[in-house]
Amino acid sequence: MSTHHQNTPAAAAGTWKLGGDLPVNRLGFGAMRLTGRAAFGAGGGRGGGADRDRSVAVLRRAVELGVNHIDTAVFYFSPLLSANELINRALTPYPDDLVIATKVWPGRDPSGAWWWAEPAQLRGQVEENLRQLGRDHLDLVNLRVPPSRGAEPVGEHFAALAALRDAGLVRHLGLSNVTAAQLAEARAIAPVACVQNAFGVGAPAAERELLRACGEQGIAYVPFFAIAGAGREAGAPAAEDAAVLAVARARGATPAQVRLAWTLSLGPHVLAIPGTGDPAHLAENVAAGALRLTPEEIASLG
Active site residues: 76
246: which strand partners? none
Q: Which of 49, 38, 26, 35 is closest to 225 using CA atoms?
A: 38
At a CB cut-off of 8 Å and minimum separation 6, what does 1 contact?
A: 95, 96, 97
Helix (H, G, I), strand (E, B) or coil at 15: strand
Q: How many residues does the chain have?
A: 302
Within 76-215, strands assigned E span: 99-104, 106-108, 114-116, 138-144, 170-176, 194-196
Q: Rounded CA gap, 190 and 166, in Å?
A: 10
Find out whether 85 and 50 touch, Cβ atoms under 8 Å: no
225 phi-psi bin (left φ>0, alpha ψ -120 to 50, beta other): left
Given strand 220-221, what is the order of strands in its sheet?
A: 29-30, 69-71, 99-104, 138-144, 170-176, 194-196, 220-221
Within the chain, strands assigned E span: 15-18, 22-25, 29-30, 69-71, 99-104, 106-108, 114-116, 138-144, 170-176, 194-196, 220-221
Q: What is the CA radius of gyration of the chain?
A: 18
Using alpha carbons only, give the angle 226, 26, 39 rounded to the nearest 5 degrees. 40
101: which strand partners? 71, 140
At a CB cut-off of 8 Å and minimum separation 6, what does 204 contact?
A: none
